[in-house]
Structure 1
């Protein structure tokens, strides 16, 4: 029950960031500014704040618990959505988007951690796979729904809808979601226990935590290597789509431009989301099966890198090749044939992306179960930070060099990311000995 409720609010993050992409000309005209300014504020700044704020939520979700962070972040999401919908200037839009991003970043870390709190090792890949399927679902449907809203009503309709979804999620958390942290594992529990042992009465007080302490986890090669460049490529192709497919194939309708994002989501859905309510996601289930099979072969010995074997087809072939072929199609193939090839590349990219993101994210939680909030936020926060830079500088880069060159460079980066994943699979145990991060050493979560 809990993971499903978690996935219900996870699309909010991508809905907020992507609904405005096909509506940029309409938003710019409404606010008397340029498309470049809207791209920088509503898209680039959003992704930047999404990455930065995640580092703040993570330590507090570990110290005070998951439930309090939801109860604080969801009202902020409601407020930010209202400000965006009522904006009459770029400044107001920027404030609203910043609030939305600050709130949405909570779901990145605390959502995955709620799942890791509940599920054991052999089931974690399936549940986190469903969680990431919700992320990609938001990426797929947000641009199209934003475009449809802009045509038949106004671009302001989508933030109002997001406000309603956020409010319903807040009510659901209040009524149905208990604290998922294990008893005694929160920082506040340990303070209370220490006060009781000392014979003192515990008085709750606010504790200031270093939000960027989790960046120390990047010292570990196992964490930095799976903080993949492959994940960044998923964002690259979607950002390129926003700037290239409209002028190349003469698309003018915001709804049609938004619909171009659907193939990527459709590519991820069949292999990473339930066929019906009782079926687990296929990619997550495969990674769980690999863990179980390899443990049995070794006589019960657990090797967390086994889970990364599920990422290899996507990391080696689907993601980088789809990016490269997309650039070739945009640059050299006109008309309907070129557009169809672009859609096929987006579909393949969605499949490959989910084959990498789900198992690699679960692997990070497996090896650092006591620091799951921090490791997830490092991976997602760095990805959001680089996505913000890509959003801000995509258009100038496209104007300075051709699209196929950008995609070829991105594909090369993807294959480098595959090499890092492969090294982690082969030498993971040795790499974990380089820097002691408090790695989990047994399947039951002890270290």
Structure 2
């Protein structure tokens, strides 16, 4: 605390020595800094900029500070103290509990509820179309396989969405990006609904994927903003519940709609749901970021231009992919890839697989099968998150410190046993026509439960294990998993027609077992991999880890 006070006093003192021609332009900044210093003394919570700086921000700050330095040098006066303008020096420490206590429990629940509702949109949009694929193919005079490819392209744009909107929410804030994506999602669905040809249908379906999937990464940021790591499992599970319910009940909703009216009505319903989420967010969603990168830049720019309100911050949209160079994140990413691949491989062809198996004649009947994994997601959401948090607390007591990899112990049973066994039984019983409707219903349900027990641990690990990366960790996971979803959507029918449903499901089961091996690697060797990577890439110092263990 005493060091913080000295640093703040030093920063204020350096401002008082500015030359006369910039005194007026800096007056507002001085007042602001005095107020910040005062608040720091009262709250003992210096603002943490460690997580809101990146290369683009650093470059802009350097340019601004160089301009200030040139002014001071030209006038023969001393340059501002480096610690007064370096955001890394401004805030070296943060009282983490105070950071997460900024919002009341009620406000946190509201934020979580809105994030969960928004996560409902993109999977709902993706899966609601599935029961209507034959009707859409007839409308555009094409084949069902071509429309399935459109769903694969949809998934590709889902994977690209975090590349754009994860860094944007870091730069400009969660709230403004949430609003922008909601509006554009609604517009995209309107344009899909009125599509006059296949090209228009493809283009605006991709746009709806791009904007709709942004809520996953924005929701992950919101959770990391307001919840302490030992509470994130439940919070992540609640967000995943929204996404999984969209996945499970979207196809059922689409089946009901297309059974009684046009497939275009599905898109109008999607637009209406998006508009409802937007209206709720406008009134109830606060800005959860402690301080955005844009705010940091503006503070520096106002030293030169006091009335400046906006600065464009350039960024590399594919920077999040570099997070996969960290071995623990790439290994955890494979867990998500295996889970999502199996999910889309099973659910995309349900109508084509189960209609001939049981002699179903209407989209509504095959749509009912999607309720089975949907209820599985609902049940699993009450198990996965709390279980993951319980395991973290248990091993924290045993080891005397929190190790992020311990959270992954909860995925071993669902990932290594329940999900692959359910997939195998589903595939081979349907192929050989053994058992009645109960068999696929039961094992699609267990597959759904497994997924929502796996995702909370895997997603929370991306956030907890390397907070130095900000949102890039979870964004890179979403990028890789939806590439897998695209592959599954595009190839599932061809695989089933070529080698049969049984062998297709067997391949998926072996992929899940490979993912289980990845989880074991992280549980037993992940901490060492993570520490070595952080040191190798200069994000942490070796001495810091020695102090943590002591």
Does residue 212 (structure 1) correspond to residue 318 (structure 2)? The answer is: yes
Match of 2:216 among 105, 108, 123: 108
In structure 1, distance between residues paired with 2:498 and 2:380: 37
State TM-score, norm by structure 2: 0.75
Relative distance call for 1:345 and 1:373 in structure 2 (3 A) is same
Which residue number corresponds to residue 383 of structure 2? 282
Equivalent runs, 1:18-417 vs 2, <5 Å: 18-41=127-150, 43-182=151-290, 184=291, 186-195=292-301, 201=306, 202=308, 204-227=310-333, 228=335, 229-272=338-381, 281-299=382-400, 301-334=401-434, 337-417=435-515
CA RMSD of aligned residues (A): 2.0
Deviations 1:288-347 (A, max 9, x none): 122122212223x1111111111111011011111111111121124xx24321111101
Shift in Å at residue 119 of structure 1?
1.0
Q: Is the 8 A contact 1:231 1:356 kept in 2?
A: no
Q: Is the 8 A contact 2:173 2:289 kept in 1?
A: yes
Alignment: residue pair count: 428
Shift in Å at residue 200 of structure 1?
5.0
Structure 1 gaps of 5+ residues are 273-280
Shift in Å at residue 193 of structure 1?
3.3
Q: Is the 8 A contact 2:297 2:311 kept in 1?
A: no
Does residue 426 (structure 1) correspond to residue 527 (structure 2)? The answer is: no
Deviations 1:95-117 (A, max 9, x none): 22011111112111001211221
Which residue number corresponds to residue 11 of structure 1? 120
Relative distance call for 1:370 and 1:434 in structure 2 (3 A) is closer
Structure 2 gaps of 5+ residues are 1-109
Whose Rg is larger?
A: 2
**What SS does the corresponding residue of 2:437 show, helix, strand or coil?**
helix
Shift in Å at residue 372 of structure 1?
4.2
In structure 2, distance between residues paired with 1:363 and 1:285: 14
In structure 2, distance between residues paired with 1:116 and 1:318: 30
**What SS does the corresponding residue of 2:213 show, helix, strand or coil?**
helix
* Higher relative contact order (Cα pairs below 8 Å, separated by 6+ residues): 1
In structure 2, distance between residues paired with 1:222 and 1:20: 35
Deviations 1:37-56 (A, max 9, x none): 22212x11211111112211
Does residue 435 (structure 1) correspond to residue 533 (structure 2)? The answer is: yes
Relative distance call for 1:213 and 1:343 in structure 2 (3 A) is same
Where does structure 1 differ by over 4 angstroms across 4 or more consecutive aligned residues?
439-442
